[in-house]
Structure 1
Amino acid sequence: MFDFARDVWASLPEARARVGRVALVWLASPLPEARRRSFERRQRGREQVAMLRRADAAVVSYGKAGRTWLRVMLSGYYQRRCGLPEQSLLGFANYHRRDPRVPRIFFTHDNYIKDYTGHLDSKRDFYGTKVVLLVRSPQDTAVSQYFQWKHRMRRAKRTLNDYPTDDATSLFDFVMNPGCGLAKIVDFMNLWAAEHARVAKFLLVRYEDMRRDPESELLRIVGFLDGSADAACVSHAVAFASVDNMRAMEERRSFWLAGRRMAPGDRANPDSFKVRRAVVGGYRDHFDAEQIARIDELVSAKLSPLYGYGAGGVVGPATGFERRTP
């Protein structure tokens, strides 16, 4: 009971900020839809800018690029390292309030900050922040986005982020839709590729590398965040965040304070779980040969080569991204 009370207390400041934002958005409900959408995006950006400015580090990723897996690994690491309870998921500062050795980590999909600051064509808002950029092949990301949209995303969130509201949209049409599919993901990654050198403290992490060697990648990430990493705690964290254990925790709603973030949309539907397949190159299972060729052609033609993603989703070495620390 004492740990439960401390977990709730540690999460209150961010919860209060969310409640304030929700109240403002509710007051704006009489506005026309376009203005209401713009207002809410700006309010979300305002809330996130406040966290970014207080953060010791930011983990930036496009949606469905592996952020939840990384968050659970980091949760397991700091739980073991600092003796924190397992039922709470690492948030912005909830662990830090329990133990100041844990950095304040701002997890963001980089959706709304630009709506508040107006920095649409740069990453100026992140220049002074320690940034971990987590990426995944656009093909796999787009397919995972589809299942998130289809089975987990509420209508209001679809409207807010300009996603299709018609459930009848096919997987291929979703992936090829420039407003929500491959083109949008590629644009996100290309802007970060162009801007990353301006970020003073920067680390690139690829989902595929985490799948290949999770312990080495987590050692690298924690070393970047903290300056050093405990190898035994890293091994524990990797086991804690295994696919099977994460699915079991999601089924049990172990991280209940995280709300819908770590809960299935429908327990009877495997595609509605946050942890779905967790495979590399799995997008090919959903399309015919002609569709795969069109998807791969778009990525090959448009995506910056710095990431090492080529035709067919083949992963080569990332080039041009150097780890930069203070």
Structure 2
Amino acid sequence: MSDLISFGGIPLPGIVVEKEFIEKICDKFMIRDEDTVILSYPKSGTNWLIETVCLIQTKGNPKWIQSVPIWDRSPWIEYKASYQKLISKEGPRLLTSHLPFHLFPKSFFSSKAKVMYLIRNPRDVLVSGYFFWHKKKIDKNPESLTTYFEWFLKGNVVYGSWFEHTRAWLSMREKDNFLLLNYEDMKQDPKSIIKKICDFLGKKLEPDELDMVLKYSSFQVMKENKMSNFSLIPENMVTHNLVLLRKGMPGDWKNHFTVAQAEAFDKVFQEKMAGFPPGLFPWE
């Protein structure tokens, strides 16, 4: 089943996004200097980062994350349902988006708003995307991982090519208001990443507050928090039980790729991501 729309050459989920609305967002939505934006390609750990930032804002107090749905705490810029909430909210806003660089609100590029861009090994993004999208009504359903693998390499998936999305946003990486984060470091050393985010946002946590952020942003706690695990999503948007948090483990792609697929992916990655400095992608 397909419910995709195309805008600016990018397939977008038609159940939550409208073509005319995206055009309006791109040209007219005002990003404010005091805003913080969480950006990523789908299935890169977006909701985990939102949860972490929300907990940093409350100094580890879980009351907010346990009482308000995650999409209300950090509304999606491209979702029409969020628009009224976003424009009427006063003071600093926490915003989320998967939009590619060329469709993002133009106002951002002349603002001082802070952006965190989260990347993840695209092989894991692919596998996670397959298990997520094929249970939803907001995308054409791939019959197999082999089919989805081919779609992913060609960019024929929701939000388009991972390679193009990542290359374009990484052009911002030297700017002071841009923080590049990766899923693998968040998994391996969450404490250091929380401190890095705090430095970027100008926040300070006491040791016990940092411990609370670590505790309540952990995979297991998030998986059990109904405000964060997407169990509140209406049934008419999914065909089966929606599993937002499946495994959360780096390297799961090795359990699913054939040798030929791994080699094919490596070849495309080297071609598409040529020119970036060594060490930028921790999984390579």
Same fold (TM over 0.5): yes
Given that residues 62 and 109 in structure 1 are in contact (C-alpha distance below 8 angstroms), is that contact kept between their aligned partners in structure 2? yes
Cα distance change of structure 1 residues 57 and 69 upon mapping to structure 2, 3 Å threshold: same
1:214 to 2:197 alignment: no
1:308 to 2:279 alignment: yes
1:146 to 2:130 alignment: yes
Comparing 141-150 with 77-86, greater Cα deviation is found at 77-86
1:204-283 correspondence to structure 2 within 5 Å: 204-249=180-225, 253-255=226-228, 259-260=232-233, 266-267=240-241, 272-283=242-253
Aligned mate of 2:116, from 132, 136, 151: 132
Q: Aligned AA for 1:57?
A: T
1:43 to 2:14 alignment: no
Given that residues 143 and 283 in structure 1 are in contact (C-alpha distance below 8 angstroms), is that contact kept between their aligned partners in structure 2? yes
Which position in structure 2 is the counterpart of 1:168? 143
1:284-295 correspondence to structure 2 within 5 Å: 284-295=254-265
1:184 to 2:151 alignment: no
Larger Rg over CA atoms? 1
Distance 1:137 1:71 in 2: 19
Distance 1:275 1:256 in 2: 7
Q: Aligned AA for 2:40?
A: S
Cα distance change of structure 1 residues 166 and 141 upon mapping to structure 2, 3 Å threshold: closer
Given that residues 38 and 50 in structure 2 are in contact (C-alpha distance below 8 angstroms), is that contact kept between their aligned partners in structure 1? no
Q: CA deviation at 1:307?
A: 7.3
Given that residues 135 and 207 in structure 1 are in contact (C-alpha distance below 8 angstroms), is that contact kept between their aligned partners in structure 2? yes
Q: CA deviation at 1:196?
A: 3.4
Which position in structure 1 is the counterpart of 2:31? 52
Q: CA deviation at 1:84?
A: 4.4
Which position in structure 2 is the counterpart of 1:87? 67
Structure with the bigger percentage of helix: 1
Given that residues 138 and 182 in structure 1 are in contact (C-alpha distance below 8 angstroms), is that contact kept between their aligned partners in structure 2? no
Match of 1:216, SS state, is helix
1:77 to 2:56 alignment: yes
Identical aligned residues as a percent: 20
Distance 2:158 2:62 in 1: 41
Q: Aligned AA for 1:288?
A: T
Cα distance change of structure 1 residues 45 and 145 upon mapping to structure 2, 3 Å threshold: farther
Deviations 1:294-317 (A, max 9, x none): 11221122115347366xxx636x
Q: Which has the higher contact order (CA 8 A, sep 6+)?
A: 2
Structure 1: gaps of 5 or more residues: 1-33, 118-123, 159-164, 317-326
Segments of 4+ moved more than 4 angstroms = 80-84, 97-100, 255-259
Q: Aligned AA for 1:41?
A: K
Cα distance change of structure 1 residues 281 and 71 upon mapping to structure 2, 3 Å threshold: same
Taking structure 2 as the reference length, the TM-score comes to 0.72
Count of matched residue pairs: 249
